[in-house]
Amino acid sequence: MHVNLFIPCFVDQLYPQTAFNMIKVLKKAGCTVHYNTEQTCCGQPAYNAGYWDECRSVAEKFVHDFEGNQYIVAPSGSCIGFVRNYYGKILENDGHEKEMRHQQLPVYEFTEFLITVLNVEDIGAAFKASAVYHDACGALRECGIKEAPRKLLRHVKGLQLIEAPDCEVCCGFGGTFAVKFEPISIGMGEQKVLNAIEMGAEYIISTDLSCLLHLDGYIRKHKLALKTIHIADVLSAT
C-alpha cells in the first residue's frame, strides 16, 4: 500500500518525532510512504479565525500538493476532518472542476487508516502504563472516529486502557480560543487533567497533538504526575 503523508504544520514544527513514529508504524503495516516536501498546512487556522479568503489560497495549495489518488494519511483528526468536511464549501467558488477534485481527496486520520483501510488491529506494540484515551473533537465529531484508536490500543502489550466518563468532553484548546479566552480554556483543560489523574492514569493518549499540547502545557506548569502522548508514539513503542 502506498501512502502520501500529510504532516500538519504544528506537527512539522513542534513534534517531528511523532511524525517519524507514524511512518514507522505505517511501514511496519506494510506501507511505502511518500512525502511531498512542498506541503505546509490545510488552512484550518485561518478558516476558524474567520479569514476565509486567506484560508482559500492555502487550501488551493493543499489540493495542488496532494494531487493524485494515493491515500493521504495524517496524525491529526482535526486537519483531516477539516479537509474532508469544509473544502467543498471553501473551494466552491473556484469552479466545478476543482471542487470535484477535492471530493476525491482520499484523506484519512492515521488510526482510521490502519483500521478501515489496512484492517490492522494489532501492530505488535508494547507500552507499559495506564492511560485514558481522549476523544479529540475533530476525530470524534468531524471524522466519526470512536472505535479505531481503542481497537489499536487494546492490542498494545502492557497498556492498561481506562475508559474515562469525560472522554468525549472537549479539552478546551480550540485554536485561537486557547489564547483569546484563556481562563475558559484553562478551566476546561484543568478538569480533563484532574479527572485523568483521579482515574489513576499515567498518560492521556489521543489522536490529536493540538489537544495534547494544551493539556501538556497545563500539566507541566503545575508539575503534575501525568503525561500526554500521541497514539502514534504509543503504537510505535516496542
Partner 1 sequence: MHEQEKLFQEESRVKATDLEHRRKINYSLMQSDLAFQKGKNAFPDLESARKRAKNIKWETIEHLNKYLLEFEKKFTERGGKVIWAENPQQVLDAVLQICKQKQAKSVVKSKSMVTEEIHLNPFLSRHGIEVVETDLGEYIQQLSGEAPYHMVAPSMHKSREEVARLFHDKLNAPPGLAPEELTLFTRQILRQKYVDADIGITGVNFLLADIGAVAVTENEGNARLCTSFPKTHIAITGIEKILPSVNDLALFWPLLATHGSGQQVTVYNTIFSGARKENETDGPEDMYVILLDNGRTNILADVTARESLFCIRCGACLNVCPVFKNIGGHTYNATYGGPIGSVITPYLSGLKSYKHLSYASSLCGVCTQVCPVHINLHELLLYNRNKSVKAHCGSRSEKIGWLLWKKACLNRAMMNMTNGRIKNFMIKLLFRKSWGDNRSLPDFAPKTFNELWKATGQ
Q: Which residues bind partner 1 (CB under 8 A)?
A: 7, 9, 11-17, 19-20, 35, 37-41, 43, 45-52, 54, 57-58, 61, 137, 141-142, 168-191, 213-214, 216-218, 220-222
**Between 30 and 183, whose beta carbon lies closer to partner 1?**
183
Contact 204, 212 (CB under 8 A): yes
Min CB(197)–partner 1 separation in Å? 16
Min CB(222)–partner 1 separation in Å? 8
* Rounded Cα distance, 148 and 169, in Å: 18
Burial 77-88 (b: 16+ CB within 10 A, else e): bbbbbbbbebbe
Min CB(183)–partner 1 separation in Å? 4
Burial, 9: exposed, middle or buried (Cβ in 10 Å; 0-12, 13-18, 19+)?
middle
Q: Would you put residue 30 in left (φ > 0), alpha (ψ -120 to 50) or beta?
A: left
**Between 119 and 179, whose beta carbon lies closer to partner 1?**
179
Min CB(204)–partner 1 separation in Å? 15
| Total Cβ atoms within 10 A of residue 38 | 8
Length of the chain: 238
Alpha-carbon torsion angle 8, 204, 27, 128, nearest 10: 160
Cell 483501510 appears where? 117
183: CB partners within 8 A, 6+ apart:
none
**Between 42 and 107, whose beta carbon lies closer to partner 1?**
42
CA-nearest of 87, 85, 82 to 99 is 87
Min CB(157)–partner 1 separation in Å? 28
**Between 37 and 93, whose beta carbon lies closer to partner 1?**
37
**Between 205 and 212, whose beta carbon lies closer to partner 1?**
212
**Between 159 and 164, whose beta carbon lies closer to partner 1?**
164
Min CB(115)–partner 1 separation in Å? 22
